[in-house]
Chain A
Amino acid sequence: MKKLISILLTLVTLAPALPAMAAEEVNVFNWEDYICEEALTLFEQETGIKVNYMRFTTNEDMLVQVRADPANYDVIFPSDYIIERLINENLLEELDFANIPGAAYTLDWLQSAAYDPGMKYSVPYMWGTVGILYNKTMVKEPVTSWTALWDEDYRGNVFMMDSIRDTMGITMKMLGYSMNTRDQAVLEEVKDKLIEQKRSGIVKAYQVDETKDKMIAGEAAMGLMWSGDAAYAMGFNENLVYVVPDEGSNVWVDAMCVPKGAKHKTNAEIFIDFMCRPDIALLNFEEIYYCTPNSGVIDLVDEETLANETLFPTREIIDRCEFYDDIAQELQAYNRIWLAVKSAR
């Protein structure tokens, strides 16, 4: 028995050491369903670097793992406000852009985004907006304003998002404030507005993943949605229209970063560069169907796709959107209001 245990223990302690002796590798930690598998195969074939691919489902999930052991991963894909937090916590490596010439394909306005000024720690991967997906056969006029979500004509006909930042953020925009406001009085106003919307029976449900299928089925006139999900739903129901309301909205980015102390930093940079290559970025764009930050892809897609404002928002739409700041300090205040809205009856 003792012998068996000691053999097992030896194996367990040796196991992690084995791959290190093998060829080059890179540890990638990305969102679930967020890459074209073919791109990984091509990367391994062309560079000979083995990809250890791991997946997460929420930013918070990923954050817990990365904080516990940053050196465990070489490339991670956090969202903008998480990148801001990681930079502040000194958990990211500065990238060596000599190894990432492909980063130059990044759209200009994304190179100067506020979450990573000067693009030192991250290279954008996918981006999108938050807006209203509506069914043109179920609304009285085209939707252009967030106030449509408070219109009593659509009682029981509106899906809101079960997501604190998005649902509260668009309410702030509607009321004429920034989505990043920390003013307690504004937060109270937002709370009253959301409770009013719920009590008057306009909200059908607060959900995230289910909304796109319900919108395809014609379950509601309007839904608060991310552009990526909207583009997906519009592919199945031609009556659906996506709009970023005039008051403005949120624009978000998922970008590639290297955690502090990553074991294969150079390989990570080679991987990031590979993802920026226009033909590879095109593969990922066609698979994921979110907005691409890669200007090289724009030359590769056809006219019809380019005209799709959900996937290629115009400059004018982007200008009225803002990024979320990291509100780690105020999260408690936000959540308090969110709980009050969710438990209101």
Chain B
Amino acid sequence: MKRSYFAAPYGLWMAVFTIVPIFLIAYYAFTLGGGFSIENFRMFLEPAFVGILTFSLWLAFLCTVICLVIGYPAALLLAAKDMKRSSIVVVLFVIPMWMNFLLRTYAWMTLLEDTGLINRFLEWIGIGRQRLMYTEQAVLMGMVYNFLPFMIFPVYSVLSKRDERLLEAAQDLGANAFMTFLRVTFPLSVPGIVSGVTMVFMPAVTTFVIPRLLGGGTFMMFGDLIENQFLTMDDWHFGSALSLIMMVLILISVGILNRADPSGQAAEGGGLW
């Protein structure tokens, strides 16, 4: 009973800055010209807008897959028992995160641009300038770079808590390293994967700064579209409808993901749900 008192400031915070804004978004999304309307949602069905959403989802999907492919082995390595210095390695992974992601993305710009460090090196060794920036690959790379830690840490945190005796038991029963991984380690890490995928996919769908900086505004993402409606078009109604569509999509994808983790252990992996 006493405890809930301490939660009051946070409750107030949530009410004012989360719940009220969501109602405002819903209000704007379902009104047009003063009355109730679903016109904003009908407008979204135009091919141009659906195309932008599909492209954002596709890029976010690719980003998540790449993060999983790179991040899972990294987490496995970090969690390995014989990694005596793993704490140092973990710190090395964390250090870049002490810096704001915007600054890190700007740093990538100075590396990738035509007169940047990488291209100067390539020219020096005789390969010549390559077009590295303002491409889809550059955007994808920037996203993977920024979101990779969100994949590694949940998986690492689950794997590092696994019971070593299970691995020993598997070996005693004649399983080789591969079978041990497939039948013991991997199933145990599913909650970590689920929360990792969620934590990468969500910011990846909504990102708009990275494509703007590394893609040079040559790609239109869903986040850009929402920003465009609010700032350029001054159309808060359509912008809110787009935001609502985005929220629902994310809720659905999180719901599907949680199905893969029936025990609901994702929270242990540092997840949000």
Interface residues of A (CB under 8 A from B): 58, 60-61, 63-64, 156, 162, 164, 198, 203-207, 210, 214, 217-220, 331-332, 335-336, 339-340, 342-343, 345
Contacts and interface: CB of A to CB of B under 8 A. Distances in A.
B51 interface: yes
Interface stretch (B60-68, B144-152, B171-179, B224-232): B224-232
A336 B48 contact: yes
Contacts of A156: 131
Contacts of B131: 156
B220 interface: yes
Given A214-B113, A219-B113, A339 B217 contact: no
B44 interface: no
A345 B216 CA distance: 14
Contacts of A335: 228, 232-233
Given A219-B114, A339-B48, A58 B231 contact: yes
B193 to A, nearest CB: 31
Given A217-B115, A339-B225, A343-B51, A205 B218 contact: yes
A204 B220 contact: no
B186 interface: no
A269 to B, nearest CB: 30
Contacts of B134: 204-205
A205 B217 contact: yes
Nearest to B236: A64
Interface residues of B, number: 25
B41 interface: no
A63 B234 CA distance: 10
B141 interface: no
B30 interface: no
Nearest to B109: A210
Given A60-B234, A156-B131, A206 B55 contact: no
Nearest to A64: B234
A345 B215 CA distance: 12
A143 B51 CA distance: 37
Nearest to A214: B113
Nearest to B234: A60
A343 B232 CA distance: 16
A252 B232 CA distance: 18
B219 to A, nearest CB: 8
A39 to B, nearest CB: 30
B69 to A, nearest CB: 25
Contacts of A60: 231-232, 234
Nearest to A342: B220
Q: Most chain-B CB neighbours within 10 Å: which of A64, A164, A339? A: A339
B52 interface: yes
B227 to A, nearest CB: 11
Most chain-A Cβ atoms within 10 A of its Cβ — which of B52, B55, B216?
A: B216
Contacts of B52: 339, 343
A176 B44 CA distance: 34
Nearest to A336: B48
Contacts of B216: 204-207
Contacts of A206: 216-218
B29 to A, nearest CB: 18
A218 B218 contact: no
B211 to A, nearest CB: 11
Interface string B196-221: 00000000000000001101111110
A156 B95 CA distance: 35
Contacts of A162: 217
18 contacts: A60-B232, A60-B234, A61-B231, A162-B217, A204-B134, A205-B134, A205-B216, A205-B217, A207-B216, A207-B217, A210-B213, A219-B113, A219-B115, A339-B49, A339-B52, A343-B55, A343-B220, A345-B219
B113 A343 contact: no
Contacts of B233: 331-332, 335
Nearest to A206: B217
A205 to B, nearest CB: 2
B234 A343 contact: no
Contacts of B212: 207
Contacts of B51: 343
Contact of A339 (B113, B215, B219, B220): B220
Nearest to A157: B114
Contacts of B234: 60, 63-64
Contacts of A61: 231
Contacts of A343: 48, 51-52, 55, 219-220
3 closest residue pairs by CB, A with B: A205-B216, A206-B217, A343-B220
Contacts of A342: 217-220, 224
